[in-house]
């Protein structure tokens, strides 16, 4: 059995240790996680696996953490399903541009219009070196259907980036 949990609250030094201890104490396995500081706040996404009893204990442990640290926690039990072969190839998209509130929307719209699933998104808005001008930096992982011709897609992507004034690269994910 699996559970997905989202945890939000004030960032605290011991929070990641407390969350990972709860996973361990409940005899669950942490399948995936992303935990980070966003400004002065903490945000975490976890996918945890265990038998039904261990998952129930983990849910109770998270509720205890929520009460102790004034966290907002949302949990969702994941229905059991058979793994499906999706016949896609993961590609990474790295983007650097001047700050613009619509960059992420425009990128997402480009891929969605071509029926390309966006698997993961990470963005930041750091100041540019030397000038301090706000920048947009993004990384997306997209799943490109194996039967889609990559050269025409790459050409469309380059033209799109030129129109949007984005410096970007689209390349296969290498492990």
Residues 50 and 95 both lie in one domain: no
The pLDDT, as a whole number, for residue 112 is 96
Domain closes at, from 45, 78, 111: 78
User: DSSP string covering 108-160, please?
Assistant: HHHHHHTT-EEEEEEEE-PBPTTT--BEEEEEEEEEEETTS-HHHHHHHHHHH
Residues 115 and 146 both lie in one domain: yes
Residues 92 and 46 both lie in one domain: no
Identify which of 93, 102, 122 has the alpha carbon closest to the alpha carbon of residue 163: 102
The pLDDT, as a whole number, for residue 82 is 63
Residues 126 and 165 both lie in one domain: yes
DSSP state of 12: -
Specify the number of domains making up the chain. Answer: 2
Q: How far is CA 50 from CA 13, 54, 113, 125, 139, in A?
A: 27, 6, 38, 37, 31
Residues 47 and 112 both lie in one domain: no
DSSP state of 161: H
| Cα gap 146→36, rounded to integer Å | 33
Domain closes at, from 41, 56, 78: 78
Residue 53 within a domain: yes
Residues 11 and 65 both lie in one domain: yes
DSSP-derived pairing of the beta strands 88-98 and 135-145:
antiparallel
Residues 17 and 65 both lie in one domain: yes
Residues 113 and 61 both lie in one domain: no
* pTM for this prediction: 0.77
- The one-digit pLDDT tens for each residue of the chain (175 residues) are 999 999 999 999 999 999 999 999 999 999 999 999 998 999 999 999 999 999 999 999 999 999 999 999 999 999 876 666 689 999 999 999 998 889 999 999 999 999 999 999 999 988 888 998 889 999 999 999 999 999 999 999 999 999 999 999 999 998 7
Q: Which domain holds residue 158?
A: 88-172
Residues 140 and 164 both lie in one domain: yes
Residues 164 and 105 both lie in one domain: yes
Residue 105 within a domain: yes
Domain closes at, from 78, 110, 131: 78
Residue 33 within a domain: yes
The pLDDT, as a whole number, for residue 83 is 64
What Rg value do the Cα atoms of the chain yield, rounded? 20
Residue 116 within a domain: yes
Residues 119 and 99 both lie in one domain: yes
| Cα gap 22→60, rounded to integer Å | 10
Residue 83 within a domain: no
CATH number of residue 151's parent domain = 3.30.70.260
- Write down how long the chain is: 175
Residues 53 and 26 both lie in one domain: yes
DSSP-derived pairing of the beta strands 135-145 and 117-124:
antiparallel
The pLDDT, as a whole number, for residue 128 is 85
């Amino acid at each position: 059995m699996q559970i997905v949990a989202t945890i939000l609250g004030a960032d605290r030094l011991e929070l990641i240790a407390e969350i990972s201890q709860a996973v361990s104490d409940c005899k669950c396995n942490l399948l995936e996680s992303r935990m980070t500081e966003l400004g002065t706040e903490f945000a975490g996404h976890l996918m945890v696996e265990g038998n039904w009893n261990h998952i129930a204990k983990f849910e109770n442990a998270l509720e205890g953490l929520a009460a102790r640290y004034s966290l907002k926690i949302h949990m969702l039990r994941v229905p059991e399903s058979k793994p499906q072969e999706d016949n896609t190839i993961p590609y990474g998209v790295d983007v650097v541009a001047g700050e613009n509130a619509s960059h992420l929307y425009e990128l997402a719209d480009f891929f969605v219009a071509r029926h390309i699933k966006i698997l993961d998104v990470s963005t930041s808005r750091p100041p540019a070196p030397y000038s301090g001008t706000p920048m947009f930096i993004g990384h997306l992982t997209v799943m490109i259907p194996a039967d889609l011709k990559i050269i025409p897609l790459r050409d469309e992507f380059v033209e799109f980036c030129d129109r949007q004034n984005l410096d970007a690269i689209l390349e296969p994910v290498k492990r």
